[in-house]
Structure 1
Amino acid sequence: MIDFFAQQCALFSKGVDGAVKSKNYYLATLNIGQAFNASVMQGLIGWRCGLMSPVESFKKAVRQLSEGVRTIESFSENNCSKDLPIEKAVVISFLVDLPLPTLRINDLRSDRLLDAVLGNGLCRDWDESAWNTGLAQLKQNKRATLAVKTYTAYNHLRKNEGEDLNELIEHAESFFQNRAKDAFFSGGDETDGGGPDNDITIDYRLAAIMKKIGYNGGSAHRWQWS
């Protein structure tokens, strides 16, 4: 599977080159996003299955996306934040200690807005108003009950207001396991661990929060690399 996603990354990277030459914004963002996801999947699978450190794959993913954004901005005035998973790259960049990509949240909503607030809040100011807006939007989706519970658990863990950390983390871990049979996550990106991808991926958002609060317990989702 790792080899497969490495091939996918190479394929989509070639697609980026062709799209940039023709200044095709939408084709470029499509290929950049897919190349990013393929690199992230390599890291997640290697991590979950104990095959390799995810660090280099994650760093490659963030750098690919950051370089892609700069390239697109050289020929287009469109807001890349709307069409690329920059909010996910921000969370992953925190894990591997890379500079956080610039993210404009104006055009994001629902779970994407929540990811953006979470990512920015790891190293920048927490935007409580935007978080509440994103959560309210997510609640409007009848299939997103598990997602609402998940993001609520993230926020409780992030704030850590005297609650039992181990209990909060156990809740978050159980919500991740439940993605295997959840329609909302099964219809999302592979990197989110929905459907059959649940057994081969890790909750990298939970990992980032645990790193932020300095948790050193025994969770399988805990980041273990400096």
Structure 2
Amino acid sequence: MNSTESVQFFAKQTATFEDGFAHARKSGNYHLLSLNARQVFLNRLMQALITWRMRENPHALIEEVVDRGLESLNALCELKPEANVANAFPVEKLRMVAFLIDREVKTKEEWQSIESPDRNLDYLLGMILTGHPLSSLNDAINVDLGKLFATNRSVLAAKSYQLYLDILSGGEVKEDVSGLVDEADDLYRQRAGDAFYTNGYEVEGGGLDNGLIVDYRLGAVLKYLNYSGSSAHAWRW
């Protein structure tokens, strides 16, 4: 499939999961609701990331991703208010893409309790992008980076997060980060053959999806720094 056909494919996938979401919400099935909510979010996000990689303006699609994601969060909280919705929905990813269009997703403190180190790092990265000093989060960041570096399968992910932070650190002191951005571009390309990413969500750019989409985390970091270089992952809208 070419890029246009891929957008159409993920649009059809979205419609299928929207039907599942509506059914689960009507029947009060929290597990089914969470499954379909995640897939609606991820398939909508894929459409935006493919459009971005085509260098077409994905702003309206990202707005739809965020609005629909917030609707899903509200539905999950209404159905099971005592649950930690972060276990059912990738809140940290929603916060990250919301930053791209200058939106902020408010989260409850208990939603911060996520066992996965990469998801925790996404949460911490989102905190930096919304104004928390990087230095105040170093201890928490180092704990989760250590967990990723400790396992061979997740070393590329650890290197990627470390590089996002290095770019942010360099940008804060007005250093030229173009060399680091080139390194991040290279690390992203390595995801095509990396097990951590090929076995993850399609929005992470593993396997055949690598050349189809962009690294939205890197895009958010570069937006934060008002980066104007030529990286395919830079946010230009």
TM-score by length of 1: 0.94
**Deviations 1:26-58, CA, capped at 9 Å, x for gaps:** 1111101100011110011111123x3211221
Q: Using the aligned pairs only, state the percent identity.
A: 36
Paired residue total: 224
The corresponding residue for 1:121 is 128
The corresponding residue for 1:41 is 46
**Counterpart contact for 1:210–1:222, Cα < 8 Å:** yes
Of 53, 59, 63 in structure 1, the residue corresponding to residue 63 of structure 2 is 59
Q: How does 1:42-121 map to 2 (within 5 A)?
A: 42-50=47-55, 52-76=56-80, 77-102=82-107, 104-121=111-128
**1:162, distance to aligned residue in structure 2 (A):** 6.1
The corresponding residue for 1:130 is 140
Unpaired segments ≥5 residues, structure 2: 1-5
Q: Give me the whole-angstrom Cα distance separating, in 2, the residues matched to 1:83 and 1:130.
A: 23
The corresponding residue for 1:212 is 224
Of 142, 146, 157 in structure 2, the residue corresponding to residue 147 of structure 1 is 157
**Counterpart contact for 1:86–1:101, Cα < 8 Å:** no
**1:196, distance to aligned residue in structure 2 (A):** 0.5
Single out whichever of 54-63 and 26-35 deviates more from structure 2. 54-63
Q: Give me the whole-angstrom Cα distance separating, in 2, the residues matched to 1:84 and 1:137.
A: 22
The corresponding residue for 1:159 is 169
**Counterpart contact for 1:82–1:108, Cα < 8 Å:** no
SS at match of 1:200: coil
Unpaired segments ≥5 residues, structure 1: none
> AA paired with 2:62?
F
Q: Give me the whole-angstrom Cα distance separating, in 1, the residues matched to 2:87 and 2:139.
A: 19
The corresponding residue for 2:21 is 16
**1:185, distance to aligned residue in structure 2 (A):** 0.7
**Deviations 1:39-89, CA, capped at 9 Å, x for gaps:** 110011111123x32112211111111111111111202111122111111
Single out whichever of 6-15 and 129-138 deviates more from structure 2. 129-138
SS at match of 1:217: coil
> AA paired with 1:55?
H
The corresponding residue for 2:3 is none
TM-score by length of 2: 0.90
